[in-house]
Amino acid sequence: MPKVLMLLPLWTLLACAGADGGATVDDVGPTLDAAMDARVEPDATAEPADGERPVPDRGSPDAEAPRDAEAPRDVGEPPVADAQPPPPPDQGPPPVPARDCTYPAVDFDGPLREYDVMGQPADRLVFEVPDLPDPALVEAATLTFSAYDLDHPGEEGTIRVNGQGPYPIPADAAFDNVESDAQVDVTGATVAGQNRVEFGPSATQPRTFFRIGRLALRLRARVESCQEAPAPPPPQAVARQVGYRAARYTRRNNWVVRCNDYAFTGRGAEHIPDDCDGLYDPDNSRRGTAIFAFPGLVPATYEVVIRSRHTANRNPQGALFIVDGEERRVSQVSDRDRTDDVWGRKRMGGDVEVVLDSSREGESDSIISITLRPVGP
């Protein structure tokens, strides 16, 4: 049982103290202190009575809730499942995004190549395009090329890519004896590595004639890196043309400069009436130069197009054209009369000259105009 402390009135305590030995009032203080200590500090070793629990102190944490009580939970809320660890990160590399790539033919920068056949021969005009990626990585493929004289829609000829096809050669009646650019969707026809592109004859025309060049395969492919499609030329760069009448000639006496169509090197007196300025006075050497000036050319990459009159008696070595200091020959020996030939592409700017140099051989060269067409930065 717990100890019961009974408090007596002060006067009773005083009386008892006096009876024991004459205690004074000063002796009462310790007696009261002892009594108070007995009241506030019950025996901690005593067992509580059956059915009783000690009342917690209001200042203790146990005063708010029983020690072992669970936190309240909304009715109907499912029990919280044990937290699961997050899945491990993917250890593989991220997928490669698709990019636009250009794969040029091995002779991309050369002049257009000619295909001139009769009937249905086995000969083909063939281009090789190397280094293509696995076709599983290719989302789309387009064959691009430049051409000359594709003027028979649906009848110009056919294309095969790695034996697949045939694809019709794009043509338009307006492309008679002029240059054009073409593209053909060849998705699904490419292979990894070396690719073969063949141009074949018309199935309906007795003669097939055209020129093809600057051929490339442009892919949308998931590859790490590649040669991207060429950027466009700057907007300030525009096509510029200088005609034969605006050229400057050296050894002018050997040039027949006609009034309405072209100029050429000659040596016969029979051409004297044909010269528009009356300056033709041949020394029978057929030698001289024709200089075409392009001042203030905007820096860019230009395609050089030479228009001239082809005949069977032109220089068999080809007419020598020097573009901003770089030499290349262009054949003018054919029966096609007025013809556009592509000398090639070159990046240049400022004051540029294109020279037809007929001073090295005593053969006949001709010229109608020089055109610089911007094609890249």
pLDDT in tens, 355-377: 999 999 999 999 999 999 998 89
Residue 340 has pLDDT above 90, yes or no: no
pLDDT for position 84: 78
For 270-310, write each residue's pLDDT tens digit: 999 999 999 999 999 999 999 999 999 999 999 999 999 99
Nearest by Cα to 221 from 142, 139, 144: 139
Give the pLDDT band (50/70/90) at residue 88: confident
- For position 120, what pLDDT does the model report? 94
| pLDDT level of residue 33 (50, 70, 90 thresholds) | very low
Which residues, including other chains, have CB under 8 Å from residue 194's CB and lie 6 or more apart? 128, 129, 130, 131, 132
Lowest mean pLDDT among 32-36, 231-235, 239-243: 32-36
For residue 316, is it left (φ>0), alpha (ψ between -120 and 50) or beta? Answer: alpha
**What is the distance of C-alpha 19 from the center of its chain?**
116
| pTM given for the model | 0.57
pLDDT at 179: 82
Q: 335 pLDDT exceeds 90?
A: no
Question: Confidence class of residue 232 from pLDDT cuts 50, 70 and 90?
Answer: confident
Q: What is the pLDDT of residues 303-329, one digit of tens each?
A: 999 999 999 999 999 999 999 999 999
